[in-house]
Amino acid sequence: MAQASREIKRRIKSIKSTGKITKAMEMVSAVKMRKAVDHMLASRSYANLAWEIVSDLSKRTNRAHHDLLKERPVKKIAVVLIASNRGLCGSFNAQIVTSAYRYAREQSLGEMPKIEFILLGKKSKDIVWKYKQEAVAEFDKPDVTLKVEEIYALSKMVIDGYREGKYDRVILAYTDYVSSLKQMPRIKQLLPIAKEKDTSLGAVGEVKGKKNERPEDLREYLFEPNAESVLEKTLPRLIETQIYQAVLESDASEHSARMVAMKNATEAAHDLISDLTLAYNQARQAGITQEIAEISGTKAAMSSAD
């Protein structure tokens, strides 16, 4: 009985230490989440409006004016997969990796285009290890992305790859921040610039943003000095903006998911400590009861002997 009590006491001490760690991680994640959400919300409206402008340009402009507007038969697809560097964030990484793989598998039906993954975040390697997909590049990802310059190398690779004909389609796979309790994996076609205003796809490939569309806009664009020079300056910057916003959304989602996961872990530790404390008290009470019974039995035996 004493051995069982010592074991329970050791487990309680160990779980208390774990609970302190998870509580500290929850607080750190909360600070990072607030910073990431602030940056994400500050640029979300601009990024969405910029994408609407790009989509509108693709509808009203001759696609021959710029390489990023040209469409061609799809023989190779680049998927930019954005995940986190570390785990302990619930199903955050599993959801986006699974969604990216599901998209790749859906594209493999019929005539099979070759799919290459460009990875951002160490946990995005799971798609290589678990699903045996091909990754051609991996970029470092800071815990909280603050400057658009941090994604210039990734943007240049994607844009140059499409313009040179290395890729016929470029897809963004990231996690869209809805709230601190809800994050949704998104698959978004980045290049060629589609004619729809919202080309985001859900985890199973359904098109989002079809409800409550605005009435058709009949405005026209006048380019000065010419369409080619204007588009050359604006389109690459707007594509960079979309990649940057996707990274910000993913950052906010990651730290929100980790904060919630650590909060749940801390609460589970407290519940387990309560259960173990009850078991310890019961074991201790049983030991005391046994000792009293032994003392009483010994006293009774001695009285009978007298």
pLDDT value of position 80: 94
- Phi, then psi, of 27 in degrees rounded to 5: -70, -40
Which two structure tokens, joined as six digits, stand for 174? Answer: 């990231």
The dihedral built from the CA positions of residue 120, 174, 101 and 259, taken in this order, carries a sign that is positive
Is position 1 within any domain? no
Mean pLDDT for the stretch of residues 267-284: 87
Is position 253 within any domain? yes
Is position 11 within any domain? no
Is position 243 within any domain? yes
- Rounded to an integer, what distance in angstroms lies between the CA atom of residue 198 and that of residue 209? 6
Residue 86 has pLDDT above 70, yes or no: yes
Between the alpha carbon of residue 102 and those of residues 99, 106, 111, 166, the distances in Å are 5, 6, 16, 23
* Confidence bin at 199 (pLDDT 50/70/90): very low
Closest CA to 124 of 90, 88, 96, 159: 96
- CB neighbours of residue 87 within 10 Å: 14
User: Minimum mean pLDDT among 114-118, 197-201, 270-274: which range?
Assistant: 197-201
The conformation of residue 1, written as its DSSP 8-state character, comes to -
Is position 281 within any domain? no
Q: Is the separation of the CB atoms in 40 and 177 below 8 Å?
A: yes
- The tokens 């990072």 sit on which residue? 32
β-strand pairing of 114-120 with 76-82: parallel
Residue 114 has pLDDT above 90, yes or no: no
Of 175 and 107, more confident: 175
For 16-65, the pLDDT digits (tens) are: 999 999 999 999 999 999 999 998 999 999 988 888 877 777 777 776 76
CATH of the domain at 255: 3.40.1380.10
Is position 298 within any domain? no
Which two structure tokens, joined as six digits, stand for 135? Answer: 């990754």
**Number of folded domains that form the chain:** 1
Residue 175 has pLDDT above 80, yes or no: yes
Residue 169 has pLDDT above 60, yes or no: yes
Is position 283 within any domain? no
Give residue 157's domain range: 25-207+222-259
pTM of the predicted protein model: 0.81
Residue 281 has pLDDT above 90, yes or no: no
Mean pLDDT for the stretch of residues 171-194: 90
Is position 304 within any domain? no
pLDDT value of position 292: 79
Prior bond of 113 cis (ω within 30°) = no
The conformation of residue 168, written as its DSSP 8-state character, comes to S
Percent of the chain with pLDDT over 90: 39
Percent of the chain with pLDDT over 70: 86
Residue 253 has pLDDT above 80, yes or no: yes
Which two structure tokens, joined as six digits, stand for 20? Answer: 């302190």
- Rounded to an integer, what distance in angstroms lies between the CA atom of residue 217 and that of residue 141? 39
**Type of residue numbered 92:** F
pLDDT value of position 111: 64
Q: Is the separation of the CB atoms in 79 and 242 below 8 Å?
A: no
pLDDT value of position 203: 39
For 214-250, the pLDDT digits (tens) are: 555 556 667 677 767 777 888 888 899 999 999 999 9
Q: How many CA atoms lie within 13 A of 274 on its CB side?
A: 6
- Rounded to an integer, what distance in angstroms lies between the CA atom of residue 222 and that of residue 209? 28
